Amino acid sequence: MIKAAGVDEVTDATFEDEVLRAGLPVLVEFTAAWCGPCRQLAPVLSAIAEEERGRLKVVQLDVDANQETTVAYGVLSMPTLMVFRDGEPVKAMVGARPKRRLLAELAELADVR
């Protein structure tokens, strides 16, 4: 998995506590080591995690090592970005995107810029 700086990794074992029970909206990147677009997205996720700290939690989940969560949310393509609020997925986006576009998509959600 390509680790984005400043972005925590979650697993099947920690997903419920770290994502579903989080007090903030959570942006989850479903990623894999072999995924080229995921590498492109890493610096974008790092920047958003820093800029939105306190309003949005950003985490990554390695799909190869965490099949249970990947299957549970029907993730088929990498990267898939999914926003969770109050334990429920509220938005899903597939594919890498520039920071400006991702922020605009996140802005559609009330709690994030």
Report d(CA 23, CA 30) in Å as an integer.
20
38 catalytic? Reply is yes
DSSP code for 78: S
Report d(CA 30, CA 15) in Å as an integer.
12
* Catalytic member of 35, 41, 48, 102: 35
* Catalytic member of 10, 26, 38, 83: 38
> Active-site positions?
35, 38
